[in-house]
Structure 1
Amino acid sequence: MAHDHTHVQDFFTARAADWDSRFPDDGPSYAAAVNSLALGPGDAVLDAGCGTGRALPALRAAVEPRGTVLGVDLTAAMLESAVRAGRDRSGALLLADVARLPLQSQSLDAVFAAGLSSHLSHPGTDLAELARVVRPGVQLALFHPIGRAALATRHGRRVTDDDLRAEHNLRPLLKRSGWRLDAYTDEDDRFLALAVRSL
């Protein structure tokens, strides 16, 4: 486990400083993905693997001033970039592992996760931990501002059937972890899987 985490931290620490400048046009797509969650004023929402916090302003707008926005990431350099960008004004930032969240069970109204599914060390366990901290019947949004095929092309690879995010893999994985896949979109400019916490 420690080895996995070191790899993820090294990957993102090396990229944290210029992350936003490399992907400057994602703001509107993040906001649209946040809007797919049924968030309302006063809700509590977690951005799991929040990185530089690009979703935090949209999450704050959705839950309004009296809501709670938490951004959790494993990489300190990413959170430092979020603070430099002023995004800590939109939510509380926590240095923590998604697999062991310092949160009470059933304390949240939604979870937003951008790009997280590519970096989970133990996807089933990690998704079950996200299920633990939300109330039954609330939503999880797994988002990426680029679809599976376009992302594979960017990395010089082909999409394979064993990709975790393929619908036929993601649906049973979510089900085992306490979620029901509700909607699935995989287009060139957006990947969005919406799941509901099983009752």
Structure 2
Amino acid sequence: MDDETANAPEDAGQAHDVRKFFGSRAHDWDARFPDDGPAYEAGVAAMGLRAGDRVLDAGCGTGRALPALRAAVGAGGTVLGADLTPEMLAAAVRAGRARLAPLVLADVQRLPLSDGALDAVFAAGLLSHLADPEATLTECARVVRPGGRLALFHPVGRAALAARKGRRLTPDDVRAEPHLRPLLTRCGWNLVDYVDEDARYLAMAVRQGA
């Protein structure tokens, strides 16, 4: 997965549909969105990562967040990329991003990581593709230590993205703050910052239990 959802199928949360949709587009995905780099850098910077931290890019797609994540945690930190679509990971390899982080073919609802293994999770556009957001956010909480962070990011806000696709915002959008806050709470997170503007969507949460 990656940050854009333009014209994704309505049932894109289903694993086979996600693979089909993104697999057919992986070869030129980066070329479609060439100007998103600064937004990714700003989103990662807002996480407040420190040298030596351990962070996962969940639904990493072609790995566009990996350079910023690696720069944030330094050579002594750990960066992992996980995605459901083999073609997206192959595109990340072709772009040279595998040198920044191990890339894992995995469903973020069932991560091959131990409890509390990470300091943070970064997820670009992930919620839009999930059949079960609660299960996935709970899994992210499982692998992050108490006090660790979750960043749910998109390089444009919900309204701007809907306009780009010729759609309207729906009142049941899981990304909307009134829905997202209680969802995160149920999943082991506390929402601490929420920005939804044309230039960026960023919901920041802290793992409960600190």
Same fold, judged at TM 0.5 (above): yes
- The TM-score with structure 1 as length reference comes to 0.98
Amino acid at match of 1:32: A
What are the residue-to-residue correspondences of 1:1-199 with 2, within 5 Å?
Answer: 4-199=14-209
RMSD: 1.1
Gaps of 5+ in 1: none
- % identical equivalent positions: 65
Alpha-carbon displacement from aligned partner over 1:3-62 (angstroms, at most 9, x marks no partner): 911001001001111110000001111011001112111110000000000000100001
For 1:143 and 1:4, the matched residues in 2 are separated by 21
For 2:160 and 2:86, the matched residues in 1 are separated by 29
For 1:192 and 1:34, the matched residues in 2 are separated by 10
SS of the aligned residue for 2:75 comes to coil
SS of the aligned residue for 1:18 comes to helix
> Alpha-carbon deviation of 1:185?
0.3
Confirm or deny: 8 A CA contact 2:14 2:130 kept in the other structure: no
Structure 1's consecutive aligned runs of 4 or more residues displaced over 2 angstroms after TM superposition are: none
For 1:133 and 1:182, the matched residues in 2 are separated by 19
Amino acid at match of 1:33: G
Instruction: Please name the residue that 2:5 is paired with.
Output: none
For 2:156 and 2:48, the matched residues in 1 are separated by 22
For 1:160 and 1:122, the matched residues in 2 are separated by 18
Question: How many aligned positions are there?
Answer: 198
Confirm or deny: 8 A CA contact 2:150 2:205 kept in the other structure: yes
Gaps of 5+ in 2: 1-10
SS of the aligned residue for 1:82 comes to helix
Alpha-carbon displacement from aligned partner over 1:157-184 (angstroms, at most 9, x marks no partner): 1112110100000001111111011000
For 1:195 and 1:120, the matched residues in 2 are separated by 18
- The TM-score with structure 2 as length reference comes to 0.92
The structure with higher relative contact order (CA 8 Å, sep 6+) is 2
Amino acid at match of 1:54: R
Instruction: Please name the residue that 2:6 is paired with.
Output: none
SS of the aligned residue for 2:24 comes to helix
Alpha-carbon displacement from aligned partner over 1:84-118 (angstroms, at most 9, x marks no partner): 00011111100000000000000100000001011
For 1:135 and 1:167, the matched residues in 2 are separated by 24
